[in-house]
Amino acid sequence: MSELNELQIQRRQKLDQLRALGINPYPPELFEVTGNSADIKQNFENNKEVYQNISIAGRIMTFRVMGKASFATLQDSTGKIQLYLNRDELCPTEDKTLYNDVFKKLLDIGDFIGITGYVFLTQTGEISIHVTSLKVLAKTLNPLPLPKEKDGVIYDAFTDPELRYRMRYVDLVVNPQVKETFIKRSKVLQSLRNTFINDGYYEVETPILQAIHGGAAARPFTTHHNALDMDLYLRIANELYLKRLIVGGFDGVFEFAKNFRNEGIDRTHNPEFTGLEIYVAYKDYNWMMDYTEIMIENVAKDVNGTTELVVGENTISFARPYKRLTMFEAIMEHTSVDISAMNEEQLRETCRTLGIHTEASMGKGKLVDEIFGAKCEKHCIQPTFITDYPIEMSPLTKKHRTTEGLVERFELFVNGKEIANAYTELNDPIDQRERFEDQLRLAGKGDDEAMPLDEDFLRALEYGMPPTAGLGVGIDRLTMLMTNQASIQEVLFFPQMRAEGGNS
Per-residue pLDDT of the chain (504 residues; tens, 9 = 90+): 578 999 999 999 999 999 999 999 999 999 999 999 999 999 999 999 999 999 999 999 999 998 899 999 999 999 999 999 999 999 999 999 999 999 999 999 999 999 999 999 999 999 999 999 999 999 999 999 998 877 767 777 899 999 999 999 999 999 999 999 999 999 999 999 999 999 999 999 999 999 998 888 789 999 999 999 999 999 999 999 999 999 999 999 999 999 999 998 999 899 999 999 999 999 999 999 999 999 999 999 999 999 999 999 999 999 999 999 999 999 999 999 999 999 999 999 999 999 999 998 888 988 999 999 999 999 999 999 999 999 988 888 999 999 999 999 999 999 999 999 999 999 999 999 998 898 888 778 877 777 788 999 999 999 999 999 999 999 999 999 999 999 999 999 999 998 887 654
Using an 8 Å Cβ cutoff, are 265 and 273 in contact? no
pLDDT at residue 451, rounded to an integer: 79
- Give the residue among 273, 292, 254 at the shortest CA–CA distance from 300: 292
Write down how long the chain is. 504
Task: Give the model's pLDDT for residue 502.
Answer: 60
Architecture field, domain 6-144 = Beta Barrel (2.40)
Q: Are strands 79-86 and 222-225 parallel, antiparallel or unpaired?
A: unpaired
What pLDDT shows up at residue 149?
Answer: 74
DSSP per residue, 94-148 = S--HIIIIIIIII--TT-EEEEEEEEEE-TT--EEEEEEEEEEEE--SS-----E
Tell me whether the omega of the peptide bond preceding residue 321 falls within 30 degrees of 0, making it cis.
yes
Q: What is the DSSP string of 299-336?
A: HHHHHHSSSEEEETTEEEE-PSP-EEEEHHHHHHHHHS
Tell me which H or E stretch contains 10: helix 6-20
Give the whole-angstrom CA distance, residue 175 versus residue 271.
26
* Domain chopping of the chain, boundaries: 6-144, 177-322+382-491
* 357 vs 151: CA distance, rounded Å: 53
Please say whether the beta carbons of 57 and 113 come within 8 A.
yes
- Residue 438's pLDDT is 86
User: What pLDDT shows up at residue 392?
Assistant: 85
CATH superfamily of 177-322+382-491: Bira Bifunctional Protein; Domain 2 (3.30.930.10)
